Structure 1
Amino acid sequence: MLDVVEYAFEGDRQCARDYLRGLPVGAFYTYVLLTPGGLPFYVGKGKGDRVLQHEAEALRNSKIHKTNPYKCNKIRKIVGLGDSVGYRIDRVYELDEIACLKREQALISHYGRRCDGGVLTNLAAGLGSPAARDPLSAERHAATLSGVVEGDGERTALNLYLQSLGAVASVPIKPLAAYRSRLVGAYPSPKALKNASLRNGLTIVASVLASGLRITSGTIVPRKFMIAPEAENWPLDGPPPEVVEGVIENGAASDILKLGLVSLVRADRPEDEGFRIDAGQAARIIGLVGRDYLEEWDLV
């Protein structure tokens, strides 16, 4: 059983900064970001002041897609309520980056990502690419990660992003660069649809979250949006794409229109279309995905 009871440090931001200054130069460490109640919501591995950078990323004046939007909204929610993020330094590794990476992966597995029924906002499952590769091959590791597509960084990034929001049988978002030739204008699906599914709700939530919007009357949800995968947990060899443009694919766009969850805002190009939400539609989406879930990420 993984030992998570004993750790090197836990405290507020300033105390964490003071603790980090006392570490050996170049030392690696695993860390956990905590809610004010002490619940873990993000696990990482880093050196220097990496653990402190997440809060700065979330609060600086930049577009939400430039970082993990799920994690950033969590931090914004905590700070917006007048509370503070808690910091835990789990283990310190002076020289062994591989051991640090393995510990990070073990912590993520222990607490679980939200898409796996756990509590973490991590998009990937850990064991990213260090300078010296772990003897565990990238191929074997990637095969264990849901949503990872060997040789396709953009699709992997979008799959991991969607699955961090919730479990879906198929991902309704495609990389725009690869999908543009197949993209057509959205129209209500001609097939019979009895009930809206969680997948339909998450199709909308994915764009709302990445675009820094909220599910409320008058919101226009863009069909196209951008995310930027985090390098520290990237599961493929080489760095992740700096930015990935995703687009709601044809069938998923048709379904949310057919179900009346949104109304179409037309455009000359399919990728520039939007989906307007009125008060009744917002209530349906909230009921479909869950108010508590959406409130936690400040989407309502």
Structure 2
Amino acid sequence: MNFILGTVGMIILLYFGTGYLPIAEDNRMKVAIYGGIALTILGAIGQYMGKAKPANSTSKKAATSKTTSNVPLGLYTYGEEEPALAGITYGGLKTPLAIKYSDSKGDITQREIVIHQVSMGYSRTGAIIPIAMEAFCKLRRRERTFNVPRILECTDPVTHQPITDLGAFLAPALAEIEPYRRSNLIYDVAPTKMVVRYQFRRPKFSEKPITITSIGVYQSPNGPHQTLSYIEGTLDGKTEAQRLKTARLGAASNPETGELIEDLQAYLISRATKGPYNYGNSDPNSVGVTISATE
């Protein structure tokens, strides 16, 4: 419609404008019609090219910057985006690896890394799998922690062959190292309501009410010292339980009084109804049993 109105307007302007030129009356309408259509088409082409130019420059800029994507995570952790820690760590490695990695902001980059330490966790079936790696990143030129669920592709930089099973690839190197083990213990607690300040999406924190039903703690192999690793419960408005890592937990407070809970671990353990027991073992008598890497 805009094109038609513009064409008609241009024809009228040309018709009256050519009245001052030495053009025969019979030809004035032809000049106005053909000229009006031609000028309108040229104007439309110019307008299109004016819009297309910034778009091209934007896409070119995007192609040279980091790519942002909502690709599914957990390719190398059997679909688990936040696997449970097994309390088993291997250090002293010097294993090179090429990866395609999605960071916490969703930016995807190609990295060449040299792995120095691997932390193990559990898959949904209870199998022991790598879930985090401390490595020297050649892109950043410093030590970085890489979460295995965020790895999108792996390649052996020596053979240039793609890696489909990261655990199998690392197994020969891990077999030569004595792992550092900690017991990963679980307590069932009486339903406990509180408000948590949590980093659901980095880097921002938000406050949400939650009803906690269980917690996980690490127990040092050298003594009774325990460290809270996660809390698990149902957020208000949700039906499924969610596990919140203490590394992303900013604070917790009593929803009735608003007072901060200073020692969250002691507070929740005092409300324990069962435990502690090892991950995957519901026997409360299994306190302190070290989970082997072969289970």
Between Structure 1 and Structure 2, the one with more strand by share is 2
Taking CA–CA contacts closer than 8 Å with sequence separation of 6 or more, which of the two structures ends up with the larger relative contact order?
Answer: 1
Structure number with larger C-alpha Rg: 2
What is the TM-score normalised by the length of structure 1?
0.24
